[in-house]
């Protein structure tokens, strides 16, 4: 009977699952603080935080069940993992959640530096390199995906710190960092699609680890969520610019 669980070492699987779940909790924290900044009660702020965490947990369970059944382990264009997880999550985040009144209220109250610092979770990209080390990913895909995530994650903290300190060039740095981080994900999606098309035409195996549990979480969760978070940074930067125009003596930190 076919098994659709990663061939990576057990320690890598356990560490990945733990790190991924922690990252989801990490992403949910600014939502709670934004709710408090907006004047909401502590219980309501916690409910929002748990709502974000719970939504992603349910979504990962959905993706995991499909992966364990082997639904994604077929070379087709577009890849089934994109069609059944990435695209639906993108629609939910951009078309539904991002347009709600509650979300817009939270976005007005969250600090720009908090949205930037969130991207430190992209250090999970080191697992692309680990999978390559165990010959479970092609080098081109592993290093383009892994290094882009690692660099973006490492730069997130200093950029967030500069913004929090109100450095004169911090907003420009935030724009550059945000554009490069978003382009990294777009480039990765293009590479993944081209790789799949080549695999389909040649009959060769692509990168099956990205269709197996638990590493299917990467394509199911990361592209849509990361692009959404980068969009939030752009939207917040526009708010900051508008606030500075309306209140020229306001500091960057006070705009959160």
Q: What is the pLDDT of residue 49?
A: 97
Q: What is the pLDDT of residue 74?
A: 82
Q: Which two tokens stand for residue 89?
A: 């999550």
User: SS3 string of the chain?
Assistant: CCCCECCCCHHHHHHHHHHHHHHHHHHHHHHHHHHHHCCCCHHHHHHHHHHHHHHHHHHHHHHHHHHHCCCCCCCCCCCHHHHHHHHHHHHHHHHHHHHCHHHHHHHHHCCHHHHHHHHHHHHHHHHHHHHHHCCCCCHHHHHHHHHHHHHHHHHHHHHHHHHHHCCCCHHHHHHHHHHHHHHHHHHHHHHHHHHHHHHHHHCCCCCHHHHCECCCHHHHHHHHHHHHHHHHHHHHHHHHHHHHHHCCCCCCHHHC
Are 173 and 243 spatial neighbours (Cβ–Cβ below 8 Å)? no
Q: What is the pLDDT of residue 138?
A: 87
**Nearest 5°: CA angle at 215, between 209 and 221?**
125
Q: What is the pLDDT of residue 190?
A: 84
Distance CA 161, CA 138 (A): 35
Q: What is the pLDDT of residue 203?
A: 59
Residues of the chain short of pLDDT 70, as ranges, are 1-2, 199-206, 244-256
Among the listed residues 215, 216, 218, 194, the one whose alpha carbon sits nearest the alpha carbon of residue 206: 194
pLDDT tens figures, 118-157: 999 999 999 999 999 999 998 888 998 999 999 999 999 9
Q: How many CA atoms lie within 13 A of 97 on its CB side?
A: 21
Q: What is the value of pTM for the model shown?
A: 0.90
């Amino acid at each position: 009977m076919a098994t659709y669980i990663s061939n990576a070492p057990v320690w890598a699987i356990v560490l990945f699952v733990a790190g991924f779940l922690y990252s989801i909790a990490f992403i949910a924290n600014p939502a709670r603080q934004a709710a408090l900044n907006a004047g909401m009660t502590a219980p309501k702020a916690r409910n929002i935080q748990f709502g974000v965490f719970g939504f992603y947990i349910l979504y990962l369970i959905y993706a995991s069940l499909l992966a364990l059944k082997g639904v994604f382990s077929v070379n087709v264009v577009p890849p089934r993992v994109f069609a059944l997880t990435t695209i639906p999550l993108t629609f939910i985040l951009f078309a539904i959640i991002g347009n709600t009144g509650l979300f817009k209220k939270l976005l007005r109250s969250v600090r720009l530096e908090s949205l930037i610092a969130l991207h430190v979770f992209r250090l999970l990209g080191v697992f692309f390199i680990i999978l390559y080390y165990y010959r479970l990913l092609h080098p081109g895909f592993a290093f383009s995906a892994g290094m882009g995530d690692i660099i973006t994650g490492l730069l997130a903290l200093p950029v967030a710190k500069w913004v929090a300190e109100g450095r004169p060039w911090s907003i420009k740095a935030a724009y550059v960092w945000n554009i490069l981080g978003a382009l990294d994900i777009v480039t990765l999606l293009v590479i993944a699609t081209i790789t799949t098309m080549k695999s389909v035409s040649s009959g060769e195996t692509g990168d099956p680890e990205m269709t197996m549990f638990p590493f299917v979480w990467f394509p199911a969760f990361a592209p849509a969520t990361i692009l959404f978070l980068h969009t939030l940074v752009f939207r917040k930067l526009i708010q900051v610019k508008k606030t500075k125009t309306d209140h020229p003596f306001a500091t960057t930190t006070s705009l959160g």
